[in-house]
């Protein structure tokens, strides 16, 4: 119950194009560390582009600029889309929470572009931090801060030009434009790590890429992302919504995930499975334990597996599993065949029995959306 209002806000963002959800530094750090554990050179000599991130408010900019040398980046580019309700309140990049005045030739309300080519302890105080970055930007020492010609929309020609210069895109894109955003990444053949609503994996355009192992989930979904910073105009409902020690307004949600085509260790971990007989005898789920067999769908040639940890390791046929299975999906262990909730990704698995809709049915009762899979390594 605690997160229902936060989830509602995220759903409304898609409808109303109200996209002011800012990722927390800790969530970015713990996700990226998983890629570095798997491959320490994931970002080495790469140009990283954060194309929906005003440097004044973006923790993506903060993370990559503070870890520029550790990651071995070649270049960091960030662009903002437009003035934001929380602009200049997060990072206090220039010390007093304000942009430089127009008299100094810096944009006050326009979209900005920051290009970072090197960072170091410019004031020689023994510590590298955002103050050093600010001084280098002011002095224009191998780094650049300029206004964009347009409004910073990721679809604009100047932002596409920057995209083409990059190797990896990392950001929290507008939820209301998610389909279009992902399409652009693939059109330009980019590596990426982005945040999306959990519903995005049921979009036909996204699911087809998951099925073909062109994209996959990151290292966690739901509460793995601890919450988003929002403007004052957003309601703070639920026991997990809060104002942190820095005055940031945080809404928590359990319906977001990381989506990527960067490899990480979690997706290669095999899922431990019991046999069908063991599940029916020992499962912790009352819906499974004690039954004579797994239910079969009326209109699909597959069995119903209502919990990911109840997948029978010795079953050779097609299984319908929850969408959350994708959080544990190992492409060496399983093959994804379809999705009962996506047109064009289910018809080939249906039998000739008629139903009111194309969703899965058991004894005439419609079931939840299911990912349809097969085990590649069936227990003998």
1, 141, 287, 300, 327 from 259: Cα distances, Å: 26, 35, 31, 29, 10
pLDDT at residue 15, rounded to an integer: 42
- State how far the Cα of 351 lies from the Cα of 234, in Å rounded to an integer: 47
pTM recorded for the entire structure: 0.84
Q: Hey, where are the domains in the chain?
A: 4-267, 276-375
pLDDT at residue 126, rounded to an integer: 65
pLDDT at residue 242, rounded to an integer: 76
Q: For the chain of 380 residues, list the mean pLDDT of each consecutive stretch of 10.
A: 46 50 87 96 98 81 92 95 52 43 47 88 70 73 84 93 97 90 97 92 92 94 72 69 77 83 96 96 96 95 96 96 94 95 85 78 91 91
pLDDT at residue 87, rounded to an integer: 46
């Amino acid at each position: 119950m605690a997160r229902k209002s936060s989830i509602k806000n995220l759903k409304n963002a898609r409808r109303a194009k109200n996209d002011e959800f800012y990722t927390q530094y800790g969530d970015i750090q713990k996700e990226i560390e998983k890629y570095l554990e798997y491959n320490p050179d994931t970002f080495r000599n790469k140009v990283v582009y954060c194309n929906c991130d005003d440097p004044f408010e973006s923790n993506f900019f903060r993370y990559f600029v503070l870890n520029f040398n550790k990651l071995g980046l070649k270049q960091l580019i960030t662009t903002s889309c437009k003035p934001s309700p929380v602009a200049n309140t997060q990072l206090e990049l220039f010390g007093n929470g304000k942009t430089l005045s127009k008299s100094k030739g810096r944009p006050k309300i326009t979209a900005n572009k920051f290009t970072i080519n090197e960072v170091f302890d410019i004031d020689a105080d023994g510590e590298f931090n955002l103050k050093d970055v600010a001084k280098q930007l002011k002095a224009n020492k191998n780094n650049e801060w300029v206004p964009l010609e347009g409004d910073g929309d990721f679809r604009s020609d100047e932002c596409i030009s920057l995209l083409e210069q990059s190797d990896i895109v990392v950001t929290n894109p507008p939820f209301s434009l998610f389909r279009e955003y992902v399409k652009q990444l693939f059109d330009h053949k980019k590596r990426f790590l982005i945040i999306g609503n959990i519903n995005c994996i049921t979009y036909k355009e996204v699911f087809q890429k998951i099925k073909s192992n062109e994209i996959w989930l990151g290292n966690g979904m739901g509460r793995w992302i601890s919450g988003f910073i929002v403007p004052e105009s957003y309601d703070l409902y639920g026991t997990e919504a809060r104002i942190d020690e820095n005055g940031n307004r945080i809404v928590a949600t359990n319906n977001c995930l990381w989506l990527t085509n960067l490899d990480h260790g979690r997706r290669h971990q095999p899922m431990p499975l019991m046999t069908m007989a063991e599940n029916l005898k020992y499962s912790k789920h009352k819906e499974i334990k004690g039954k004579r067999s797994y239910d079969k769908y009326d209109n699909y040639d597959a069995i119903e597996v209502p919990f990911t940890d109840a997948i029978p390791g010795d079953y050779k046929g097609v299984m319908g599993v929850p969408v959350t299975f994708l959080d544990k999906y190992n492409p060496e262990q399983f093959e994804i065949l379809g999705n009962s909730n996506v047109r064009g990704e289910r018809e080939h698995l249906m039998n000739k029995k008629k139903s009111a809709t194309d969703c899965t049915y058991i004894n005439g009762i419609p079931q939840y959306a299911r990912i349809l899979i097969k085990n590649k390594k069936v227990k003998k």
